[in-house]
Structure 1
């Protein structure tokens, strides 16, 4: 396998959305296990449709820098980063907005390569601090390991839900 990381092209969008849904299926299963069925169904009545729309929106967002990992002409992962303007809470900051790797090629260093590429994009744009968010649930454990191995420091935050 020879993976190349390059800028996203219009022809990549459908493939990137599809791989992201495969990549995040275990995360949404983890959400359901943690939240319970009732709260989960309220928050995510059709997670595939809402996640596909969210990914497509990020891929096309103004100011978003999207890079895609391609193997044999097919997208196998992507990273989307954004430079924050002066009105943002984090001065001189940028963010890794989304990152996903197709499950069929996970654990081969593609996620880390995409993360490093995204951070490099932000560094070249003059960013001094990079943020990335992820969940504390079991489904996000691989992401947390990747981010920590890349030198990111976690600031634990907790969000509670109660269905009325």
Structure 2
């Protein structure tokens, strides 16, 4: 496995990857739970939102870094993280691993890569967030196994 910085030519592959990884959340978990008004307002263009996120994900001069994991010549996952140097704080913004690459160390390698890079920049504390629904249960277990401490929150949304 090779972990390297995101390149502009990776964007179409990464967009397909995040749509494949997170599509089930948006379409099978979030959408059926909330009204169509809420879904449309918050995540109606989730595919487009990911295209925008990915286009801005790797701007090291602005404290945003993204790296990809390449396994057997194919991108198997990626991580995006934020560096807040003045606060000595980092944030894991996104980790996505192809379903067939899970449980093979790709996510751990990406997380370790980000944590090592953030520590090298003088970061003392790293945060991340994930969903509390069933879809995100494997992510929560992964983060807790890596040493992150969960703090539950509740987010409410309604149409008016």
Alpha-carbon distance in structure 2 between the residues aligned to 1:36 and 1:107: 34
Secondary structure of 1:59's partner?
coil
* TM-score of the aligned structures, taking structure 1 as reference length: 0.86
4+ residue runs of structure 1 moved beyond 6 angstroms? none
Higher relative contact order (CA 8 A, sep 6+): 1
Structure 1 residues 79-120: Cα deviation after superposition (integer angstroms, max 9, x where no partner): 11221143xxxx321111111111232222211211111111
- More divergent stretch after superposition (37-46 vs 140-149): 37-46
Matching residue of 2:24:
26
Q: Is the 8 A contact 1:63 1:82 kept in 2?
A: yes
Q: Is the 8 A contact 2:57 2:65 kept in 1?
A: no
Alpha-carbon distance in structure 1 between the residues aligned to 2:144 and 2:17: 24
Alignment of 1:26-105 (within 5 A): 26-28=24-26, 29-60=28-59, 62-86=62-86, 91-105=87-101
Q: Is the 8 A contact 1:21 1:48 kept in 2?
A: yes
- Unaligned stretches of 5+ in structure 2? none
* TM-score of the aligned structures, taking structure 2 as reference length: 0.88
* Cα RMSD for the two superposed structures: 1.8
